[in-house]
Structure 1
Amino acid sequence: MDTLLTEYVTDLYTSIYETVLNPRKRVFYGYVLMALLIGAAWFKWRSNRSLRQISKDLLSPSIWWSESAKADYTVLLINKAILLATVPLLITKIALATLIFQQLYALIGFPPAPGSLLPDWAVPICFTLFLFLLDDFARYFLHMLMHRWPVLWAFHKVHHSARTMTPFTVLRTHPVEGLLFTLRSILVQAISIGTFLYLFGDRVDLVTVLGVNVAVFVFNVTGANLRHSHVPIFYWRWLERILISPAQHQIHHSILPRHFDKNFGAVLAIWDWIGGSLHLSEPETDLKFGVSKKVEPNEQSLKTLYLQPFRESWRAAKGSIRRC
């Protein structure tokens, strides 16, 4: 028992420091520093502020050490402890990928001959692109469901209850949401790996930078962390129909009714464009973040963030059952 506890504490410690030291993580310190540099360049270009003022704006304690931000950090630590204990109980992506491979073999038969579909050099490129697109669509789709199904919104609302945003707000999620997105990730990777192994065998590989999918790396290093920030970087209108800008994701967090249920996408805006939920940035609008205009008492407390969603989700479920 002592050995298991020691291993758990060690793994928890590793998981916590890897959050900022592992390039596979969204808030890897290198990505955060790049975001700060991009934010500084944006403020300098748009307003010609002094470097001292820019530094104050980007690193303001009123943002990074607000009650909302402190709740972000606390939720991050607690969720690490919870997910570390529960994730090993889930089916692994390798086990699921093997099952998918076997089912394809049972349904279709022998896979194509090596080299008959794509040349060797093209396989890693296609696999990398396929994984990125499927992952991005799955994020969009699950995110949309979490907004439109009251049973799930009760949990996702924890993320939207942030009043100030820092890069760590991306990890401000209820454990139920964290579990759903973990399952989503396992399914996406299993489908991609199982399908490509069936089609291309041992020629399957991932194009990476620092061990990260090259498309994800480019997304992270070009300011992905500014999506959860107060730096309203917007793109050209045509580009915002293809890629979600930081300003568009900030609109997603806005308390203005016209912004509700808009811009579900993570990287690509095309899913929102097709689904009718795309909203282009509004450079002149001063955005406020949260679930509603009214600041509720104890809205950043652990009781509100962890326990209240279960009650709200149960009420929503009972309401749905009655309507049926």
Structure 2
Amino acid sequence: MNKYIELIKNSYSGYWNYLKNEILFQNQWDNYFYGLIAISLIVWTLEIIFPWRKNQSIFRKDFWLDTFYMFFNFFILNLIVFIALSNTAAQLLNDILKTVGLSLSSFQLYNTNDLPKWLGLLIFFLVSDFVQWNTHRLLHRFEFFWNFHKVHHSVKEMGFAAHLRYHWMEPVMYKSILYIPLALIANYSAQDVAIVYFFSIAIGHLNHANLGWDYGILKYIFNNPKMHIWHHAKELPEHVRYGVNYGLTLSIWDYLFKTDYVPHNGRDIELGFKNDEQFPKDFISQELYPKFSKKENL
């Protein structure tokens, strides 16, 4: 038990030092703090220059709430809970495997040093995106998970920062499901995978931005604003009532598994979900939803 307590303490101090170094710019090109700011400013500028919904304000509805969510979820949530939880879970799993003479590395499908780095990172990206696509489907398919995912779908006007408006339980689910698949294929440092994460952040921001782009023929590979807005549609036909267009970075999974749905130009469709007018509007109430919110479970 002392080992786990020490691990949790070290996780807090280690991530705090990491975050401090990010803010003080002591980390170089893989600086996620300023990388997030740079990507956000670039996509916001594109929204201002090429607005799809021209009557939507530059500071759209919930702009500042979503901006707060963006930094809270990307940095502060890790400091509060997620890094310590991840490290402890990983150590516990390894300790359990050790009791039968195994380790997680025993199950690795290949040695990353045996592959060209570009190929290893491509496999990392594809596996990660596919697992997250499936996790996203679960968030829509089961009521227990959907109650958490409603926070993300409470967005009423799309903009780049809506990308990172989500309930604190979502990364717990995503990372928990993703942990073992990545452990079986990847052994890369944060510096190695930085380009993958920056690319995913950029595509995620663009998907939610006030932009009317679909990237032409590349729409069948990459998620895009014209496709993703239908994922946020308030009303969908009965045959797709559990949701559509689940892709995070890649759209190819939706086309392969027939969950794609872009019936027409969705620029002016209403966003949200049934009874969303009763959904909590402030950060604290949304983060405590559904069990501890003053609003009833919708």
- Give the TM-score, by structure 1 length: 0.65
> Is the 2:160–2:210 Cα contact (8 Å) retained in structure 1?
no
Find the counterpart in structure 1 of residue 4 from structure 2.
Answer: none
Max radius of gyration: which structure?
Answer: 1
Aligned to 1:101, which of 105, 112, 128? 105
The answer to whether structure 1 residue 60 and structure 2 residue 58 are counterparts is yes
Unaligned residue ranges in structure 1 (runs of 5+): 48-53, 106-110, 195-204, 317-324
The answer to whether structure 1 residue 136 and structure 2 residue 134 are counterparts is no
In structure 2, how many angstroms separate the alpha carbons of the residues matched to 1:159 and 1:26? 24
Residues 231-310 of structure 1 mapped to structure 2, 5 A cutoff: 231-236=211-216, 238-258=217-237, 261-280=243-262, 282-283=264-265, 285-292=267-274, 295-296=277-278, 299-302=280-283, 304-310=285-291
Change (3 A) 1:164 1:92: farther
> Is the 2:228–2:245 Cα contact (8 Å) retained in structure 1?
yes
Change (3 A) 1:84 1:281: farther
Find the counterpart in structure 2 of residue 322 from structure 1.
Answer: none
Counterpart AA for 2:69: D
In structure 2, how many angstroms separate the alpha carbons of the residues matched to 1:288 and 1:19? 38
Counterpart AA for 2:117: P
1:289 positional shift: 2.4
Find the counterpart in structure 1 of residue 5 from structure 2.
Answer: none
1:31 positional shift: 1.4
The answer to whether structure 1 residue 171 and structure 2 residue 164 are counterparts is yes
> Is the 1:233–1:246 Cα contact (8 Å) retained in structure 2?
yes
Change (3 A) 1:9 1:73: farther
Unaligned residue ranges in structure 2 (runs of 5+): 1-7
> Is the 2:60–2:159 Cα contact (8 Å) retained in structure 1?
no
Find the counterpart in structure 1 of residue 44 from structure 2.
Answer: 36
Residues 106-117 of structure 1 mapped to structure 2, 5 A cutoff: none
1:149 positional shift: 1.3
Residues 131-210 of structure 1 mapped to structure 2, 5 A cutoff: 131-193=124-186
Change (3 A) 1:6 1:240: closer
Counterpart AA for 2:287: Y
1:143 positional shift: 0.4
Change (3 A) 1:94 1:217: farther
- Give the TM-score, by structure 2 length: 0.70
- Identity between Structure 1 and Structure 2 (%): 18
